[in-house]
Structure 1
């Protein structure tokens, strides 16, 4: 009854934790888990294989590495000699480190682990003494976590425990259910409103949405009257969106890039810097490289496709460091997967 009450309280705690708002599988996150395993015993004489319910709590030191405190109960292990199925009780406390593969936020995260356990187990009466034996184990294991919700996962794995006292092994395949909460989300910058620009829906080279300055070119930043925002300065801005984890320029972005190229040809003294960005999914170092590839892809279209001199176009990647929308939502992440550029010139 005591064990059932304890498990019920723990399960209730896990369910309640799913309501937390700051959810992630990366650095700073906390994971709690309930688990149940089959224990194949070889380290203790005269004891049958048994079952070992348990729980763990872990903290992610990085996006991939967590440090975990574990507890397992061996109450379901019984002796296999002629003592009338004597009940054997035990407790094990452990500390291990897990290394997770794939990226924080992925549904599937394989892992490997290693650590140490200290166990306390009642003796088998037939062995000639009573009390509890104390033992220390080195542990190693591997498995897979499946995050079927953003912060709830199921786990399956196997662990091998090496008993330092006698050099023998126990093997424990297990399953678990856990929650992940409380860290890893990088602060999202407040969305930056896009400047009002001239629209030219009928492609006649004249702004449709203004009454003044009708000769303002398309895609130039304008003020409330539709005139260039800075006196005698005209500007073209570029915002190219990318699919998740891709650096290929989509066909629907070529027209916008061509507008920028045409503007630079109209003002041959201009230069520009093409800036690449990503959302927050994945490691920082990977996102930095991805943003650089995106920026370079847009530069190649400008120079190779539309003939802007390469010396007039620089490319730079900022990774995930400059979000303009909330990375906690899919819509926000889609906005952040972008390449931006702008060109200013003195109006003729």
Structure 2
């Protein structure tokens, strides 16, 4: 459907283009504020949402130009609630080819590459490479002002799948500078000069023959002595030992060790030269900052490529894997009793126990790969059937609270009621029964 819409718009632009004064100027710069809509793929269940954009470009010729782009996609949420407040930013570049550049209506095709970063609850906030292509048109209302419309097909990989989105924009095209069209001078037709009358014929008597001239033989001229010119040594402007004609990095600072191309050595191949690199043994493929050190997004002291819990809250003490130490001690790989109580024969979670349940919710946010169950237990009072049903309802109430408040994927948590089948203390005393009436969290930490 979206590809058909793009093809139909392209045909309409070509048919409607009519010759007029020159529009696109060679050597000009441009600025385009844009706004429109962004359509997510149906599988993403995010619908359409507004988008704001800005383009800055340069026309190498009337037909060929490049642009830098920036887009902001406003918040959207899916119908299931697993994705909330999803927004996006796209930044990159694109090349444009104009058809009929001397017309008032100038259609064009475009293609480019950009970085796409999505943000929001339940979303991977890393940058993703996105390829885009599409069509557009500029309608000039003045020599340097035009209305502009764009439609783009954007494709990118996210997690384990590929997604195809569509962006459509309208805005202004403002043109600065550039060469004015040359005016061809009119050359007048040449006029033939009149033929002059013939000269009168003069009869002159032949002169007497002149005497033979005396032949003078010149003295021989000695051959010049060749002068040997010694060429100057090849220039090495930055004195790095690689001559300028071979030096691919001619501005290297003094004293920096270079390779055969005259460029500073980068031992760990992270894009930061050794003389600037504060972390010279970074593993291959790891994203680094301006100092050549691995990026640590959540500032917990564990680099992203080693961090198993990349969204740790500020100030939380973490282990070598970047995960919260206290949360791991309480909930990882062992049953943990959650200190909450319910009214008699009721399953509603009381507000006074929200802080206790929030500890479990924050743990699941800090350990995004952890899975497990909420287990409900009762004492031996009452029938086994009633106790089993009550314990199941209480476990499901706790599960629902965690999922709704913290946006946790429901597939990570199960709820199970065991009634009075798993006591941890004798049911003969009041204190023993109190211990048996409990909610336990049983989760693994990956």
| TM-score normalised per structure 2 | 0.36
Say which structure is richer in strand.
1
Q: Which of structures 1 and 2 has the larger relative contact order (alpha carbons within 8 angstroms, sep 6+)?
A: 1
User: Which structure has the bigger radius of gyration?
Assistant: 2
